[in-house]
Amino acid sequence: MPAAASAGLVVAGLLLAATPSPDVVLTITDPALAESSGLAVSQRDPEVLWTHNDGGSAAQVIALDAHGDSVATVTLAGVDPYDPEALAPGPDDTLYLGDLGDNSGERPDVSVFAFAEPHRLVDQTVDARWYRFTYPDGPHDAEALLVAPDGRIMVATKELSGAGLYRAPRVLVTQDVGTNALTRVATVPALVTDGAYLPDGRFVLRTYTAVYVYARPGHQVAWARLPAQPQGESVAADGDRLLVGSEGVHSQVLSVPVPAASRSAPTGASAGPTADPSGPASRRGQRAEDPEPSSNPALIAGVLAAVVVLLGAVAAHLRRRRPTH
């Protein structure tokens, strides 16, 4: 997402209550990684993190070592991306790059590229499986890609209202055969910027200011505020902790605990995500609701500012290239 479009969101985040100082895992040293948008822990080497720049003219992911140095750039062969926004690990040491961005809301389909995580950390070009997806209700901007342990893909859209979680079919066809129809399965919080599966099968979604834990689509069980970041966009699961990253030159990757399950919603909380229309009703306890109170004046002011800058950014946004990818 362009920096101008996130200015109001950053202001909104600063207005929220402060959180304890987080642990800094690493600082990205490469100035070329100025828009780190996705994050994934290597399945071959737990000391390595994978990331990528927001957008760009090539489909590339970069390996970071424990010091934050770039140690390998992997380029996907034969791929001309539109707006890569997300990165997720999948089964069998596979990485998935989500070409999901659509700030102007005009793409007829979005893409996900799946490729094997390299054994050797050297600059290289690799083959990837290319999947196209269509939404059932028209174009959406999205920055969150989730891949379940069984390989099932979900996408969470990034919108101020009506944002949704969409699930892909179990069996996918590659782009040379056709497109895959997504199905809306739940409502999600506003302005989701990334997501990740946890080792126990639950998954998390993050916004600029908070992280939400789900037992399944539509069943939120925990939440927590996130530390303030210049433009916090990414999240990755790393054992019993979460790694959260931000755009910006020399940005930091922070470590925060996975939020503990909540027994009830915070006082004054607004309505949380709706239940998965295709799944069973909750059987255990009350779902934790959206932590951001609808009556919070600071939050309302921040959201209004975000609306203004987002509309201005969309009107001025001319950098997009190929709406069919």
Q: Are 212 and 205 in contact (CB under 8 A)?
A: yes
* Dihedral angle sign, alpha carbons of residues 50, 57, 35, 157: negative
State mean pLDDT over 19-23.
Answer: 70
Q: Is the pLDDT reported for residue 23 higher than 50?
A: yes
Distance from CA of residue 122 to its chain's centroid? 26
Domain ranges in the chain?
A: 4-316
Pairwise CA distance, residues 227 & 211, whole Å: 10
Indicate the burial class of 237 (C-beta count within 10 angstroms; 0-12, 13-18, 19 or more): buried
Q: Which residue has the tokens 């934790």?
A: 288
Residue 1's pLDDT is: 57
| 239 within 8 A of 199, measured Cβ to Cβ | yes
Cβ 192 vs Cβ 284: under 8 Å: no
Given the structure tokens 């995500």, which residue do they identify? 273
Helix H or strand E segment including 158: none
Which token pair is 53?
A: 């720049």
Query: For the whole model, what pTM was predicted?
Result: 0.79
Mean pLDDT value across residues 14-39: 80
**Under DSSP, is residue 20 helix (H, G, I), strand (E, B) or coil?**
coil
Tell me: the pLDDT tens digits for 39-63? 999 999 999 999 999 977 789 999 9
Fold adopted by 4-316: Neuraminidase (2.120.10)
Q: Is the pLDDT of residue 176 over 50?
A: yes
| Among the listed residues 182, 97, 186, 184, the one whose alpha carbon sits nearest the alpha carbon of residue 147 | 97
The pLDDT value recorded for residue 285 is 30
Between CA 218 and CA 79 the distance in angstroms is: 34
Q: What is the pLDDT of residues 213-255, one digit of tens each?
A: 999 999 999 999 999 999 999 999 999 999 999 999 999 999 9
Counts for the chain of helices (H) and strands (E), in that order: 2, 22
- Residues 223, 289: Cα–Cα separation, whole Å: 8
How many whole angstroms separate alpha carbon 246 and alpha carbon 187?
Answer: 25
Span 89-127, pLDDT tens digits:
999 999 999 999 999 999 999 999 999 999 999 999 999
pLDDT of residue 188: 98
